[in-house]
Structure 1
Amino acid sequence: MESQPLVSVITPFFNTEKFIQEAIESVLTQSYQNWELLLIDDGSSDGSTVIAQHYADLYLEKVHYFEHDDHQNLGKSTSRNLGISKAKGKYIAFLDADDVFLPQKLEQQVAILQSQPETGMVYGPTQHWYSWTGEQQDYQRDNIRPLGVQPNTLFHPPSLVTQFLKIVGIVPCTCGLLIRREVIEAVSGFDDTIQHMFEDQVLLAKICLHAPVYVDSNCWDRYRQHSESSCSKAIQTGKYHPLKPNPAHQIYLNWLQKYITTHRVQDAELSNALEKALYPYHHPMLYFLLRVKNKVARIARKKFPGSVHRFLGTQLLGDKYIPPTGAMDFGSLRRVTPMSQAFGYDRGQPVDRYYIENFLAHYQEDVRGRVLEIGDDNYTRQFGGYVSSKDSVQRITQSDVLHVTKGNPKATIVGDLTCGDNIPSNSFDCFILTHTIQLIYDVRAAIKTVHRILKPGGVALVTVPGISHIGDYQWADYWCWSFTALSVKRMFEEFFPAENLQIETHGNVLVANAFLYGIASEELRQEELDYRDRNYQVTITIRAVKPDTV
């Protein structure tokens, strides 16, 4: 049925008897039911063959076992292509035999592709999974692979390929993808000439050059970290290093250059990024000398910062060192373009998100009852929960998501804050409204709606930008305002009593500059982030309470 189109999950395996059962079970336990699992045996000589055949016999209609002629070992790309040729689904997902899907993976990804007919593929961040061992120290090592781009955004060709070349470590994991079958067939699947390293990036490049791709903020899968994986073995044997030039990377870049030329992809930013990535291979000696020069320069800057005698003099007087006119060293900041065009997402946590999430954490007791959030329910889930660690009563009774247009699968209410008559009045105990009203021209109408839809005693947790760039991709076309604490106070006091408002500013000159350059919060010290100077308002937070009726 079209409401639940068939999804083909393709799992190639080679000697993975330790993990394959857990991978298969993660598909069997999906909340989405209309799937088929294709187990592709790449010439295994251990017990994984028997395990795969057992599941195929147990679930005859759902699980299917395939192998190459004469039980050969032909590699990842050939095995996945065999799975694609046997697949019957409208959508195709890949799951390596040592990784797992989280239960909502297929349901939520299918919903996104169903609601966005123009989108060829969807993916989200993947968890680097160390805690599968059960060892206490490994739980601390689990982390989410950085997206490196603005989440909940549709990217058109060839923008993602350019970002993958520019930023190390943001290429999505194979287990994170869901792809339309027609798209994967249009690009002829994997390339059989590249089998063991970067074979996934070959497919990703083809798809991202061919069709729009939606990048979501949700994590749906776990990438098991262990010493027996093909990536770990390549690092151990010196065949691959994620941060250094290596033969496998060069093979991929040469393939990409040829592919772009053959398919006449003309994009200046992509060409420049590819040329920069190939520089260490085309000019190895110059690249080596440049690295030596940069290292020496970094050491020199650390050893001799600024004018030494003036610096020592100010230190003796207990003052901050201020370089004299003409002696300012801007260093890495002497540039007219930012480090990041995506608010710093590609480097870590954006600075404004540090303030937004600290604000919501401080007032998380307000996230209770019926909660409304814009766009998705991520913050509702993150900061909602239980009344206390000892209490099993949930604070949240109903979670709603408001979106301005149709097509968002997470939305429970479609409406515009400026004229949202269909948004029920006096209905919400909490409204999480983070960095949204700067995109609305009629701000007063939006704040009036916020007041109307809150229950008496309900709380709006609102954040707005002060000093900020207006972003890239879709935001620049809608960004209308930046605010100050004074402008926010005057507008909110038109609808909320002054005593029911708590307005705070966050930021200082260092933070403001860092945010404008796209530097992540992790690159600053906590005392730098927490120092407040009202003259440099990066983020403004508002807690607004609707008065109780008498």
Structure 2
Amino acid sequence: MYAAPATFAALPVVSVIIPCYNQAHFLGKALASVQQQSYPAVEIVLVDDGSTDATRAVALAHAPALRYVYQDNQGLSAARNTGIRHSTGTYLVFLDADDWLYPQALALNVAYLQQHPHAAFVSGAFTRVFVDESRLQYEAKPIEADHYLHLLRGNYIGMIASVLYQRWVFEEVLYDPTLRNCEDYDIYLRVARRHPVLHHTAFIAAYRLHTTNMSGNIPAMLEGILKVRTAQQPLLTSAQEKAAYAYGNKFLRNFYCLELLIKANIKKQPLGAAEITMLRRGNKLFYLRYLKHRMKSTLRQKASKFKNKLLGRKITPAIGDIQFGDFDTLTPFSNSFAYDRGGPVDRYYIENFLQKEATHITGRVLEIGDNEYTMRFGKGQVTQSDILHVDASNPLATFVGDLCDAPQLPDAAFDCIILTQTLQLIYDCRAALATCERILKPNGVLLLTVPGITPLADITWNEFWYWSFTNKAVRQLLQDTFPTAEKEVTSFGNVMSAGAFLYGVGLPELPKDKLDYHDPSYQLITAARVVKQ
């Protein structure tokens, strides 16, 4: 073990414990960051948790500046506990092998604990760093009191290397080896419940983001963090604690569901089955936005020729001679609007309508939920893009509220409103249209689409879906709410496209000529352009 030089004997020693499992390629930077600390009294304990790579060689290259401890693979918690047993410092830091400390990290945190010797630990801020080491700094919220309540609301600490512990803490608690993740959050909660702790906003450490981070498995992270929190539930005594706990559970579910939504809709990365299930169960509105995005994005794929004959022949067969083939089924081919088969049929009509009306998507434009259509079809014509979202879960929303009752939306403010496939989810759809009339400028344009013949496809939609519309219903609603406006209402669809949509056939499986045929008896989508007078 590396011992502090005699000249620093008066300083309390900080033990930096580094568990490592097959991360030799990152380890050198972590070790260098400890050796470059401005605080001199440091010992390094490197715990090799059964690595099969060059971890041992990297450790020996840094000898005698560290103590190397090998153990069979037992997991991160066990490796940290091993490090505690082999350390001697007054203070302890846990640095993962793929992260690093900033040069003043130990000096800053030691100063806090020396000024507050009764505090069990002090935590600071950290920087997220991508594999190319481009930096994204986050402003840390200062937490000055009620740390346990704040931890019940969420893990404001976030990164273990930003924490400096008193040694005596680990005479009371150790890391739980049964936890697959979030073992650091477990320690924070257990300690902060019983002892005073500190927090500041100076940047202490860098957290490296890469493909093998444990935190990259979002469903596992949510499961782990809720498991840790559940252990606290029987200990809650005050109404404040119980309220903080309830708030935290809701916040964390929304937070991790938002991570999934960003992964799918912004980073364009596919979600796995467990992630889709988590999103559907954890935040239904985010799940609807995910489905909406998937349904939109599939239109960008090149349409392929329809390979199978669908719903009938050119000559009507005699009674009893119909061959149902693949359609002889009581279950659809897709339960998610065919996004798993290339995308939904209805988006063909919706997006062709918006493309046709693109010259009206100009100036200040309001869209519901997100602004994908605004930016896609408005392009350089849009001077200001606004988003109305039903709650505060969308950080990009410029307005939050219910379109039925939205006094926060200014009168006569918007040149265009894009209201696609939303009205069916609003019980008082007439009030929603009245809001649109109020907030449009004179000569402003409402671009509206609504479903006619449609599946609900997923149980989630059943909780929000109120209406389907014919073109006659749309004309009457618009006449009631925009009595003097110029209105053009059009329906799209035919028996083949409607049947395909109901059966969950994907858009690329239908030929364009079949999609373009219009039969007013089969109104799959109704669209309207309304120009306010």
Q: TM-score, normalised by structure 2?
A: 0.49
